[in-house]
Amino acid sequence: MDSVIAFSLGVLVIAVGLILSIALHEWGHYFPAKKFGVYVSQFMIGFGPTLFSRRSGETEVGIKAFPLGGYVAMAGMYAPSPGERSGGVSTTGFLDKVVGEEPLLSPDQIPADIDQRSFYRLPLHQRITIMLGGPFMNLFIAIVLYGVVLVGFGVPTVSLTVGSVSECVLAATETRTECLASDPAAPGASAGVLPGDRIIALEGQELQSWFTLTDIIRQSPGEPLVLTVERQAQMYDLTLTPLLTQRYAFDERGEVSLDDAGNPIVVAVGFVGISSAIESQRQTLTSVGPAVWDNIVGVGRVIATLPQRMVDVAQAAFGAEERDPNGPLSVVGVGRIAGEIAAVESLALRDRIAGLIGIIASLNVALFVFNLVPLLPLDGGHIAVALYEGVKRKIYLLTGKADPGPVNASRLVPLTLIVIALLGGMSLLLMYADIVNPVRLFS
């Protein structure tokens, strides 16, 4: 029952984190829009019937029945079509008409004073600022949360603390795990190394990395080595002699190397039979930027290869293929992974909390990158329209032509509907795959 409760709490944490991320995304649009004087009629979190709302000045602020989404409704997000006197009120959401609500104001219902405060009438840089406000709010959240995880909690890292000590030496190709009387004793145990010892130096040279220690041990079979360890605030010098034994060879990625026939490559190396404890090590602030950037690049790579990845997801959903753990997930899949992390008793509580915060940070990176895709109704689509309009006006000005006026982006509505249909279809496919063949981290 405890694991069920922990799983449910993990899902709840991610749901609340996603809702707050969406709310702050929309606030990123709302704040500059109000600063620039745009008429904002609604600021809503979710879609469907309104559960709660109140007025804040001229803006209705509320929460809807299905909170996975949100929008800001602004006057003139689309320039008026020929014959129309205004652009009406549209939203930053996927659909302009909200289920269960009165229709938003149409072009012929917009008073003249409100029409003068339309989005499309703003200078180019202000329109881009408003549309970038949402994605960059997600980027800001991701940076803060990555900072909390990396600097506050730390990253699980191979440490110089001994995690376990083998009693005997078994060849890498041996299938059994228990020791027999005929097996040679492991040098580490014979030298008196104990779990929990902190390794300070080898042969009098201070060590900074466990990997430096293992490299020297592997290259020194039969050579006595003096290992300095700290145990209960006392220093001890222990002499151990690595035994020559067989171990798998590893490549630069840390994976077992294979020969031309696909068999693991075995090499003769020195071995003492001690392994490292995994500890959370706090990182510096300078590590936050590269971590966020790597996440951005990873999400961008997924989006760039999305057609093939969706084919892979379909094959996994309706066939026997395994899911790619680095592939796209729906909110169902993300929630499941969060629940698994929260329910793993072998992880320390701080590591589980850090894992959940890391998921929310990654979700915000995904929202940042995805919303910058230059297709309507995404924020990047509105930015692309504004940039096209600015370039077009500059060309007309340089060639001595009259101002062509604002671009009527409503002509792209058919393409927008296709994008919405594709995104909806992909979401349904991902949800189905995350139910019947989910990505699992611990099983």
Q: Can you give the C-alpha Rg of the chain in angstroms?
A: 29
Contacts of 310 (CB under 8 A, 6+ apart): 328, 426, 429
The residue from 26, 60, 84, 167 that is catalytic is 26
Active-site residue flag, 279: no
**What is residue 84's three-state secondary structure?**
coil
Backbone dihedral angles phi then psi of residue 134, each to the nearest 5 degrees: -65, -60
The burial class, CB within 10 Å (0-12 / 13-18 / 19+), for 164 is exposed
For residue 180, what is the DSSP state? -
Q: Which is nearest to 228 in space by CA: 242, 213, 215, 218? A: 213
**What is residue 28's three-state secondary structure?**
helix
Do 45 and 158 meet the contact criterion of CB atoms below 8 Å apart?
no
Q: What is the number of residues in the chain?
A: 443
For residue 224, what is the DSSP state? -
Question: Which residue has 């009098």 as its token pair?
Answer: 204
Q: How far is the C-alpha of 411 from the C-alpha of 361, rounded, in Å?
A: 36
Q: How far is the C-alpha of 23 from the C-alpha of 33, rounded, in Å?
A: 15
Question: Which residue has 């006057």 as its token pair?
Answer: 75
Catalytic residues: 26
